[in-house]
Amino acid sequence: MPDSLSLTPCPPVRGSLRPPGSKSITNRALVCAALAEGISTLSGALDSEDTQVMIDSLQRLGIGVERQKEGTRLVVSGCGGVIPAGEADLFVGNSGTTIRFLTALATLGRGNYRLDGVPRMHERPIADLLSALSQLGADVRSEAGTGCPPVIVHANGLPGGQATIRGDISSQFLSGLLMAAPLAKSNVELLVEGELVSKPYVTMTVGVMREFGVESHFSGLSRFVIAGQQRYRGCEYAIEPDASAASYFWGLAAVTGGEVTVEGLGESALQGDIAFAQCLEQMGCRIAYSGGGTTISAPTAQLRGIDVDMNAISDTAQTLAVVALFAEGPTTIRGVAHLRIKESDRLAAVATELGRTGIAATEIDDGLVIDGGSPRGAAIETYNDHRIAMSFAIAGLIAPGMRIHGPKCVAKSFPGF
């Protein structure tokens, strides 16, 4: 892919597609399969940078992962909760899910492990996860003492007990703890302090764990009790298409006046990001569910601005911000302050790039306010952030003269985009 990509406006987009597998589910299923007894087969998996660094790290820990069908089918030889490698140096790129999940997983081992990533990873906080693991008896620390990676784990199994963790930074911390907890030496109780962000991702984690034979009990997503010394069981697991990726195509239908069906994602999808379709419905689009798929049809009139809390579906906030460029009236996106610690400071980045198109965008404490209108073409910086590149590609198919710098970053989650 070139260093810069010019986009050409297109007529109304109509059609159907099945996006690649969910990144979030793929990496959760990989962790559960790696810890399981026996062999697991994951079908419909995502083959991307984030899943590749997860696979590479699991292999460095001595766990067998065989890639088949161009990486969309993964055969995992589970370790039965006993991590084979007594020492490993893991490089996770800029994959937040990988470093958070594997930091917790590594505490189950017997030995010394170091987890590191790209320079941006050294700015992404992980102190809350380290604190919770320490409360459960693990020996973990930030190598530089900054509360950010690199992370050092001196492992001798996870003792268990009670831990409190803040809910407003990243739900991935809680998901990592949940997946490791069943293999602790004693029962684990996790208490969430404050409001939990991205709640559907935690529900997703619990659902994936259940498919691999492990149960956790919770009330209100604020208190979780997990029995220790459980065992994951290997299984055949089908991964549904990525709902975050689907948002770009639904958004494209909305702004071009078209109609797009995403196959394999229906009302009962495991991923919370399916709710992005309802945001478009509020803006005037029509939703239809049939045959396990979801169709978005553009409104007959102009899109209208909305005021929406996207805390639960924050990975699609950038998509909605770009769709809002073409709406009548302002759109306010709330509840997404945690986007500042993603692959980029997404609130600042999106506001800056929206401004290049001639549409005013204002940062607020927990989100953005976007004035709708008629955006002009612009050269868009992506900050090496896949979601910014893919979101602004939507605008490039409407506004003439749009150019995306650094489009290669989409390989993180959607290489074929």
pLDDT tens for residues 155-194? Answer: 999 999 999 999 998 999 999 999 999 999 999 999 999 9
**b/e for 23-59, b at 16 or more Cβ within 10 A?**
bbbbbbbbbbbbbbbeebbbebbbbbbbbbbbbbbbe
Question: Which residues face 364 on adjacent strands?
Answer: 367
Q: Is residue 74 within a helix (H) or strand (E), and if so which, with residue range?
A: strand 73-77
Q: What is the dihedral of CA 129, 132, 138, 144, to 10 degrees?
A: 40
**394, two tokens:** 């939507």
DSSP codes of every residue in 287-350 = EEEETTEEEEE--SS--B--EEE-GGGGGGHHHHHHHHTTSBS-EEEES-GGGGGSSS-HHHHH
pLDDT tens-digit series, residues 205-260: 999 999 999 999 998 899 999 999 999 999 999 999 999 999 999 999 999 999 99
Q: Give catalytic residues, as residue numbers.
A: 315
290 Cβ contact partners less than 8 Å away, ≥ 6 residues apart = none
For residues 155 and 109, the answer to whether their CB atoms sit within 8 Å is yes
The whole-angstrom distance between residue 12's C-alpha and the CA centroid of its chain comes to: 29
Strands 73-77 and 87-91: unpaired
pLDDT for the residue numbered 13: 97
Is residue 370 predicted with pLDDT exceeding 80?
yes
- At residue 229, the 3 state secondary structure works out as coil
pLDDT tens-digit series, residues 38-60: 999 999 999 999 999 999 999 99
